[in-house]
Structures are given as structure tokens and as C-alpha cells.
Amino acid sequence: MRADALVPEITPSLDELAGSAVRFDRHYSGGNSSRAGMFSLFYGLPPTYWAAFARAGRPPVLMDMFQERGYQLGIFSSAPVSRAVGLDRTALARVPNLRDKTVAAPNEGSSGTDRILTSEWFQWLDRRDQSRPFFGFLYFDAPVALDVPPGYPWLVPIPPDAPAQTRRRARYLTAVHYVDSLVGRVLADLERRNLADHTVIVVTSDHGIEFDENHLGFSGHGTAFSAYQMRAPLVIRWPGRAHASVQRRTSHNDVAPTLLTGVFGCANPPSDYASGHDLFDGAEWQWLVAAGYSIDFAVIEPDQVTVISPFGYEVRGADYRLIPRATLRREKLRAALQEMSRFYR
């Protein structure tokens, strides 16, 4: 889900949640793909570290704390946590009896799997030990798969002669609307169980998606470090915190430090274990290291993106158009390279 889909017409349930939560309106993932985005979300680190952690099978501090403190883990994923996402080798590496994904009937797509996942979550809550805290992870897949359930009403009409990208975008918006209805059921169920006022609720996405809006030939995800692919919604309902709309720049790197500080009372400065900050301390990033599935990575600044590959580099503006004869900002690049190496031993 990309950030601009968080509007009442597309995501009424999430928009209603945001009305009683803290909404971060300039939030970025750590990557343009699921692997990179999920890594930054759980670890609070640049996704260029992914391979090292995957080889070691080393979970993040956040997951260690959930398990050390006796949290029950309800992990439900519509997409495989293995393969491209690699959560089985990283964030979820030491989760006992980890299931790769929810399984639907052969003729059902991601939307059907998302529906079954939601039902499985309700069943898990029914069975859980109510004397212990829990961590739930619900990973929906229909929006990125552009999958709409049979008979589900289209959110926007599609003219018969509409180009392919217009059709894809219409499917995407309808799939987001469908998943929002499932999220609405999850939120209502927490209220019914009297859990909503005692639970930190985080709603976000691993990355955004693009439909060649800039007319530069980029579409889908994992194809560019544009704002369309990098920006994601972030809504956090935290018991005791008032509704707010945060306009400063935040990133997935900030989520784990926020939970470690606010839920577990971690007194270490976030810089000891992450690249981000507590979301509520007022800090914003001046540059952000992003990656995808390829060997390229990017240093994202508020006004430009520097994409670096083994063969050279390119500098793009905020609209993601190439800046001719651009000058590298060496101090920012030097700081980014240091952040990409300081956790190696």
C-alpha cells in the first residue's frame, strides 16, 4: 500500500483508525521491495545488511525481546515468509513452528488467502493464553498482487479503452479497499474483546507501488526509488497517546526503536542497535539508505535521490527525473556508507 491511498474513499477503516491514532504523513519504507522494506521495519537498519543477517539467521533485537518476555507470537502471512521476502532467515528466524504462509483453495488468489488469514487470526485469539501478552503479525498480499475477489465492486470505473496502467491502478485501488475491509474486521474484533485499549496497533506497508505516473517508464515495485515506491502509510494507535498528524520525515528505521523504548523500556540510545529514532522524539532523517532486490542502493534526501550501482551512479530530483551534471554530496554519501558498515564485526 502506498501512502496516498490512505483516504476515506479508498481505506475507510484505516482512515477511521487514524482519527484516533498518530498518523505519520511523510513516512518512508527502507526499500522498494518486500525484503528490504520488512528488514528495515523489524531491524531499524539499512537493508544493505540483509544478506549478513540472513547468512547468520540472526533475528532483530525487537523479536528477541518479544520472545524473552514471553509474548505469544501469532504470525499470519498471505505471502510466503521465505523465498523473496526472506523473513524465515531474518526477522522470524527463531520463531518456533513458523508456518510459511496461509493456504487457500487452489482456485483462490491472494484476496482469498487474505480472507482466510483474517479468520485464522480470530481463531488464534480465541485459543491464546489470556494471561500472557501477544504479538500479532498480519501480512496481507492482495494489493501487490492486484487481486480482487470475484464479485467485489470496483472502486473506480474502467473505460473499455483504458490503457493497461489505468486498469492496473483500478485493480490496485479495489484490492486495497478490500484489504481495508479485512483490517476493519480485525480492529472491530479487538474492540469486541476489550483489547483495543491495551494494545499497540501499527498499520503500515513494506513498500509502495507505481503506475508510471511520472511517465518515466517505472511501474510496479522494486523498479525505482521514487516516492511512489518508497513512501508507505504509517498509523500507530498507542494507548494513552492522543491523536496527532506528524508532518516531519520518518522511516521504517524508526519503528523498532519506538517499540523497544515504549513497550520494553529500553534505556539504550537507539543508535546502539538501529539507524532510526523513537518516532515520538521529534527527530527526522536528513538522508535515508534504501535498497531493493538488486545490488543497487540509494541515498534518499528530501530533494534528491542518488542511486549507486557497481557501474556508476545517477542523481535524480524529487520528481525522480535525472539531474544532468549533478554534483555528489560527499558528506551525505560518506555518512551513509559509514551507517552501512558500523554494525559489522
Report pLDDT digits (tens) over 149-178.
Answer: 999 999 998 888 999 999 999 999 999 999
Q: Residue 107: what pLDDT? A: 87
* Region 222-233 average pLDDT: 97
In the predicted structure, residue 105 carries a pLDDT above the cut 90: no
What pLDDT is stored for residue 295 in this prediction?
Answer: 84
Cα–Cα dist 282/41, whole Å = 19
> Is residue 345 scored above 90 in pLDDT?
no
For residue range 198-211, what is the model confidence (pLDDT) as tens digits?
999 999 999 999 99
Distance from C-alpha of 242 to C-alpha of 248, rounded to nearest angstrom: 17
Q: Look at residue 302 in the predicted model and tell me its pLDDT.
A: 96
Confidence (pLDDT) at 106: 86
Q: What percent of the chain has pLDDT over 90?
A: 95
Instruction: Tell me the CA end-to-end span of the chain in Å, nearest whole number.
Output: 35
DSSP for residue 174: H
Q: Is there a contact between 24 and 279 (Cβ–Cβ < 8 Å)?
A: yes
Q: How far apart are CA 283 and CA 82, in angstroms?
A: 34
Spatial distance between the Cα atoms of 77 and 148, rounded to a whole number of angstroms: 18
What mean pLDDT comes out for the span 77-82? 97
User: Which runs of E-coded beta strand occur in the chain?
Assistant: 22-24, 27-28, 72-77, 134-139, 201-204, 210-211, 219-220, 234-237, 244-246, 250-251, 288-291, 297-300, 304-309, 312-317
CB atoms under 10 Å from CB of 131, counted, come to 6
For 90-100, the pLDDT digits (tens) are 999 999 999 99
Q: What is the pLDDT of residue 117?
A: 97
Domains delineated in the chain:
3-284 (3.40.720.10)
Residue 280 has pLDDT above 90, yes or no: yes
